[in-house]
């Protein structure tokens, strides 16, 4: 009897923790879900994601993504790695800069990638190959851009519906056959969630169901994929929060009590950080507003002074003109 009571208490406690986690997720922030999901995947699982996302070259090691420009700006690449020749576009040992783009890059983004390439070439003493992975079609796999009188050759990895379907089939096969699988195969959950475009809601539902039925995954990988799926569920179903909540429950239902507690702690931390960022942003906005008002008042004062000077100058000009006329009359009278 006591054992049954303990099981009931444990189940009830886990359900309460699960509900608290879902509620926390629903009210938490979801800034730049595609970018943050891509970065979470490639930063935490650099080597296997190299294969999952189809980056060129044989992966050797991860690179620091921080970049400081000559004018002191701090920038951050999405992903950097040192790679070896693979018989494809990588002919010699090289560095790569891989950037996720949900839309085709504008001039500013291309200039930023140019800075990344210069920085990593200097840092590694290796040629640096810029890669853009996107579900938009730029019209070519390779495009040359002119940047500051230099030519920047960018290689595109274009994610198509066919590539999404192929990866969905891989995940379906693992669930149905219960066969062994590799980490790069499991990362297809992230690949699909970030890049799905056609029939996005339908496919998101499919991978959520597959995730809830998936064989045992490494706990850290499982939690990272949960983060990615969470972000992309909230993104794709932002117009249907009830459905979003249902799917969030599905991707979380098989987590242990300890894993739920861990994620609850993580979500609270994210929420607290977001609140702090919001507070700092609000303070900065207020300071900017105050400085702008002061600047506007100063500009207004300078404008008034200028207008007064212009008035006085005009009066003096008129007085000089009057005196000149009187002088001319006196001269003519003589």
pLDDT, tens digit, 9 for 90 and up, residues 275-290? 776 677 677 667 767 7
Residues 216 and 320 in one domain: no
Is 184 part of a structural domain of the chain?
A: yes
The pLDDT value recorded for residue 284 is: 63
Q: Measure the CA–CA gap between 27 and 234, rounded to whole angstroms.
A: 11
- The rounded distance, in Å, linking the Cα atoms of 298 and 303 is 8
What pLDDT is recorded for position 35? Answer: 93
Give the torsion through C-alpha atoms of 35, 37, 40, 43, to 10 deg: -60
Residues 107 and 251 in one domain: yes
In a domain, 271, yes or no: no
User: Do 257 and 295 fall within a single domain?
Assistant: no
Same domain? For 253 and 331 the reply is no
Residue 296 pLDDT: 79
What is the C-alpha separation between 116 and 109, in angstroms, rounded? 11
Q: What is the pTM of this model?
A: 0.78
State the alpha helices, DSSP H only, in 100-199: 107-124, 161-177, 183-186, 188-195
Shortest CA distance to 131 belongs to which of 192, 42, 71? 42
pLDDT at 69: 79
Backbone angles phi, psi at 28, to 5 degrees: -80, 175
Which pair of tokens denotes residue 280?
Answer: 């700092």
Q: Are residues 77 and 218 in the same domain?
A: yes
Closest CA relative to residue 121, chosen from 76, 79, 78, 80:
80
Residues 222 and 311 reside in one and the same domain: no
In this structure, the answer to whether residues 204 and 334 fall within a common structural domain is no
- Residues in the chain with pLDDT < 70? 1-14, 273-274, 277-278, 281, 284-285, 288, 333-334
Sign of CA dihedral 30, 31, 34, 39: negative
Q: Which domain holds residue 232?
A: 23-261
Does residue 334 lie in a domain region? yes
Residue 334's pLDDT is 54
Residues 163, 210 share a domain? yes
Residues 85 and 136 both lie in one domain: yes
102 lies in the same domain as 234:
yes
SS3 category, 321: helix
Alpha helices in the chain (DSSP H): 2-27, 33-44, 46-52, 107-124, 161-177, 183-186, 188-195, 200-213, 219-236, 241-252, 257-333
Query: Are both 309 and 194 inside the same structural domain?
Result: no
pLDDT of residue 278: 67
Total domains, the chain: 2
Q: So what's the pLDDT on residue 312?
A: 83
Q: Do 248 and 297 have their domain in common?
A: no
């Amino acid at each position: 009897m006591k054992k049954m009571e303990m099981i009931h208490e444990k189940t009830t406690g886990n359900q309460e923790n699960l509900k608290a986690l879902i509620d926390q997720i629903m009210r938490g922030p979801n800034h730049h879900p595609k970018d943050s999901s891509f970065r979470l995947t490639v930063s935490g699982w650099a080597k296997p994601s190299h294969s999952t996302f189809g980056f060129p070259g044989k992966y050797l090691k991860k690179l620091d993504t921080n970049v400081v420009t000559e004018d002191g700006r701090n920038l951050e690449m999405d992903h950097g790695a040192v790679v070896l020749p693979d018989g494809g576009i990588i002919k010699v040992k090289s560095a790569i800069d891989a950037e996720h783009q949900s839309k085709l890059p504008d001039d500013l983004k291309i200039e930023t990638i140019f800075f990344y390439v210069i920085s990593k070439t200097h840092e590694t003493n290796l040629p640096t190959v810029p890669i853009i992975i996107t579900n938009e079609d730029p019209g070519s796999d390779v495009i040359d851009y002119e940047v500051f009188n230099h030519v920047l050759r960018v290689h595109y990895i274009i994610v198509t519906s066919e590539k999404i379907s192929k990866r969905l089939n891989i995940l379906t096969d693992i669930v149905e056959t219960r066969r062994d699988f590799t980490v790069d195969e499991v990362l297809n959950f992230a690949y699909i969630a970030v890049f799905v475009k056609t029939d996005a809601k339908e496919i998101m539902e499919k991978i959520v169901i597959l995730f809830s039925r998936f064989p045992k995954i490494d706990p850290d990988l499982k939690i990272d994929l949960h983060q990615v799926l969470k972000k992309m569920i909230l993104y794709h179903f932002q117009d249907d929060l009830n459905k979003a909540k249902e799917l969030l429950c599905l991707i979380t239902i098989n987590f242990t009590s300890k894993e739920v507690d861990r994620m609850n702690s993580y979500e609270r931390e994210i929420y607290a950080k977001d609140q702090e960022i919001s507070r700092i942003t609000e303070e900065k906005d207020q300071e900017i507003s105050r400085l702008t008002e002061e600047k506007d008042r100063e500009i207004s004062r300078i404008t008034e002074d200028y207008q007064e000077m212009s008035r006085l100058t005009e009066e003096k000009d008129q007085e000089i003109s009057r005196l000149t006329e009187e002088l001319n009359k006196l001269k003519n009278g003589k």
